Amino acid sequence: MNVSNTMSNMTRLGKQHAGAIFSGAAAWISTAASAASDAVGDLPGGPAVRQLNLHPAVTKIAEEQHWLHWFMMAICLVIFIAVFGVMFYSILKHRKSVGHKSANFHESTLVEIAWTIVPFIIVIGMALPATKVLVAQKDTTGADLTIKATGIQWKWGYDYIKGEGEGIGFVSTLDTAQRVMDDNGGPKAGEVPNNDYLLKVDNPLVVPVNKKIRIITTANDVIHAFAVNSLGIKQDA
């Protein structure tokens, strides 16, 4: 009897202890999520809360990339629906429980031709527009301005080689205030980050609008990546 009461008390205490741990963990998760929600905000040119799409395009190349992205997505969606539609239809329609008897055949020339030609057409239909966009990205003929971007650890060097501003060269570094904020862990909870957080530099690169710009990328030390998402460019150097 005493043993039974003791075990019952231990079980009750264990449940209470587990409940306390669960409640504490839930409270901690809720607090952490709330703090993260307060600290995170949309960053211009960077990640956005609940971001579902690509960065807004501001160049013709970027617009073509966006169109290509959604074109490919549409093809993938059609293939997904077709494949899984046929699969689930076959599972439900041809199941043994409804009395269906499996067909007995060894080959089908029509099916073999279809599963060869259809994928070929799909691949060609995807490759042609993709190649067109890729070639347009690499086309540097008739450039109005040529700039050399040199990757240096934690900064970029720019030289205007040909066109407007020819002969100008400078180094662009992250703004001191931005660097201090980043060294301190970024914007704190409740602190509204600057609209240009981690984007503001001391000497920004300036280019004319509605002009064709050729950018030559290179590196002075380690591997760098020159990327501007809204312009639709990313090049390793």
Q: Are 43 and 193 in contact (CB under 8 A)?
A: yes
Q: Are 231 and 220 in contact (CB under 8 A)?
A: no
Show the tokens assigned to 102.
């499996």
Domain borders along the chain are: 60-96+106-138, 145-236
The tens-digit pLDDT sequence of the chain (237 residues) is 444 444 444 445 444 554 544 455 555 555 544 444 445 566 555 567 777 788 889 999 999 999 999 999 999 999 999 999 999 998 888 887 877 777 777 788 898 999 999 999 999 999 999 999 999 999 999 999 999 999 998 899 999 999 999 999 999 998 887 777 777 776 665 555 556 677 788 999 999 999 999 999 999 999 999 999 889 999 998
CATH annotation of 145-236: 2.60.40.420
Cα(155)–Cα(202) distance, integer angstroms: 10
